Amino acid sequence: MATVYILLARGFEECEALVPADLLKRAGANVVLVATEGGLAVTGSHGFTITADITIDELRKEDMDCLVLPGGLPGTELLGNNPRVLDTIEYAASKGLFIAAICAAPSILGKMRLLDGRNAAVYPSFADKLEYANITGKKVEHDDIFITAEGMGVSFEFGFKLIEVMFGAQAAEDIRESVRSK
């Protein structure tokens, strides 16, 4: 079973974390919400408090198949300034594991120069943080191990793309159909 770690810092965008988490779980992934500071309770940018499954100190890098960075403020800034988070991202990149970031969070990957020369999506006001990436204008981009998305409004498409790259196009279509309004 594929293990997906979703990193949560105070001020994360709730939909950008929980919609992909829900969809991935439906696809059969072992989804683990990871609190990156303090205890397990993490309050998002709109005041919803989520109880994470583990803290970043408990994260087992060797179990990771995919790392997801939701956007939101100040969540993105807190993730990008956390040495443990940056170390986890570097580990995932060095092992060729999927790294997904949405909204402002691709700016972390841009700052780390991981998106240099790659196609990427990012919330428009953060595009300058990806100066060496190719911002395509698509809502969701997949380039090698990186999946990036523009923002909260494409949380479902972001989740479906994660399912597609991890479990295949048919699995993504099956989940899409199962959650579609009739």
Residues labelled as active-site residues: 103
CA 102 from centre of chain: 6
CA–CA separation, 123 and 104 (whole Å): 6
Rounded to the nearest 10 degrees, how much is the dihedral formed by the CA atoms of 103, 166, 5, 75? 0
The DSSP 8-state label assigned to residue 122 in this structure reads -
Pairing of strands 3-8, 66-69: parallel
Q: What is the DSSP string of 32-100?
A: EEEE-SSSSEEE-TTS-EEE-SEEGGG--GGG-SEEEE---TTHHHHHHT-HHHHHHHHHHHHHT-EEE
Q: Are 112 and 89 in contact (CB under 8 A)?
A: yes
